[in-house]
Chains A and B, each alone.
Chain A
Amino acid sequence: MIDTNRRARRLRERPPAGVVALALLAIVFFALPFLGLLWKVPWSDVGRVLGKSEVRTALWLSIRTSVASALLAGFFGIPLAWLLARTNFPGRNFVRALCTMSMVLPPVVGGVALFFSFGRRGLFGQYLDQWFSFQLTFTVWGVIVAQTFVAMPFLVLTVEAAIRQADARYEDAARTLGATRSYVFRRITLPAIRPALLAGFVLAWARALGEFGATITFAGNFPGTTQTISIATFLALETDQRDALVLSVVMIATSFAVLLGLRDRWMGRTDGVGY
């Protein structure tokens, strides 16, 4: 008894050296690119670049559209995750692959696919044009559609995994007490997976914020309507690298702050098992 305790303590104090070495290399691998970027940033230009009205416009557009995309991803993605986790229907794996494909697709390809389906002459977009004289391309709605398209899988996979891990017997207990499946979903399932929900929302939001390939291909690029901070950063790389570097740092700082805050504030204790 004493022996095992002592052994356990020693293991905790000294993790295997090989594992630590590889983990350290991984950390360096992630840290170096950011150091490389920070090293190149023209710090004296930060004020000038952030003072530009087009930069502020792009930043504000990005904030609005990425939050809207994350909310949309949740509105449709949480029910989808539940369906994938808690029901067993033929072709479920096919549906999961279909609904998460945009995650691995080159974003530009996703943008082209959206263009041919929701564009003005697209498979469905043509009816939007015929019936409502409306097209998504060149509008803020197009940006939100493109961002939701690439961001939702991150939420779906996170939430599906959490629902799978949640003890389904609590849902059974609730049903025997007279709760319908949708009541169980709202009162039992959702509260049980709250940490994963938040993680899913933040992942989807971060992906939406960083997205530009699908967005510019599907929605275009115009200040105030479709030019997000990511698109502005990407395009600035070719015309004004100094601006691009400053914008990159702004995006890194924002994402880093959110990911850091997520861990500490919302995910509960970080030293426990799981989330």
Chain B
Amino acid sequence: MLALVAACGGDDGDGTTELNVLAATSLTDAFGAIEQAFETANPGVNVTMSFGGSSTLATQIQNGAPADVFASADEKNMDLITDLLFGDSSVFTTNELQIMVAPGNPRDIRSLADLTRTDVIVITAQPGVPIRTYTDDVLANAGVVANFRSFEANVGGIVTKITGGAADAGIVYRTDVIAAGSKAQGVRIPLDQNLVAQYPIGVLAASTNRRAADAFVAFVNGPGQSLLASYGFGDG
């Protein structure tokens, strides 16, 4: 049992520290860059990133997945594992919500109200996924009942179906629109209807590398901020 714990994290014989970070899918590109920068600044630490839907990751943590740090795309999934955290979580960045549409906006989607049109195929994610929670809240703010055609497993499913041309519109993060490049474009949601996605990060109580985990969280809150901004996170 001891050997298992040691293999899952902690100091290897040669002095490198293994750090397992579970992060929301929408953080994939930004945290990839942060991983590199962090490892350069901390030569003794080897970070392993694992990306997935925040709800999937929360379930994995509940089932005992070996992890040191969890970065969620919403507060709700962080709250699910709050008992398993060492200390409190803290919001490290934010993301804006946008309506993702095909390049050139061929369906002429200008506002949330357009998501009720029957000639527009609107999709979202299944209940429990952060983007779905945000989408429901935004639509409720605007008093709009969208005509959904599919509930994808995660935000990646929404992006793939829109960039692949199967669906016409869906609410995603601004960072997703930026990452999609020329394959999609974003329609901004008016500030009075929109809300800001809060990304909390926390160190898990089960972590055997608390110092390295703390250092990683500090890095994300410090030098990592400009990297996050370059991918479209924050106030932009």
Contact = CB atoms under 8 A, between A and B. Distances in A.
Contacts of B126: 221, 235, 239
A119 interface: yes
Nearest to B148: A222
Question: Interface extent on B, as a size class?
Answer: 20 to 34
Interface stretch (B15-23, B52-60, B64-72, B219-227): B52-60
| Chief secondary structure at chain B's binding surface | mixed
A248 interface: no
Contact of B161 (A137, A234, A239): A137
B153 A119 contact: no
A221 B153 contact: yes
Contact of B166 (A120, A221, A235, A237): A120
Interface in B139-176: 148-153, 157, 160-161, 164-167
B56 A119 contact: no
Interface in A16-44: none
Contacts of B164: 115-116, 119-122
A111 B126 CA distance: 18
A78 to B, nearest CB: 31
A120 B161 CA distance: 10
Contacts of A120: 164-166
B121 interface: yes
Contacts of A122: 164-165
Query: Nearest 5 A-B pairs (CB), nearest first?
Result: A121-B165, A220-B150, A137-B166, A239-B128, A138-B149
Given A119-B165, A216-B152, A239-B128, 18 more contacts: A115-B160, A115-B166, A119-B164, A121-B165, A137-B166, A137-B167, A138-B167, A216-B153, A220-B123, A220-B150, A220-B161, A221-B151, A222-B149, A234-B153, A238-B53, A238-B56, A238-B59, A239-B55
15 contacts: A115-B166, A119-B165, A119-B166, A120-B164, A120-B166, A135-B166, A137-B167, A138-B149, A216-B152, A220-B123, A220-B151, A221-B126, A235-B153, A238-B55, A241-B59
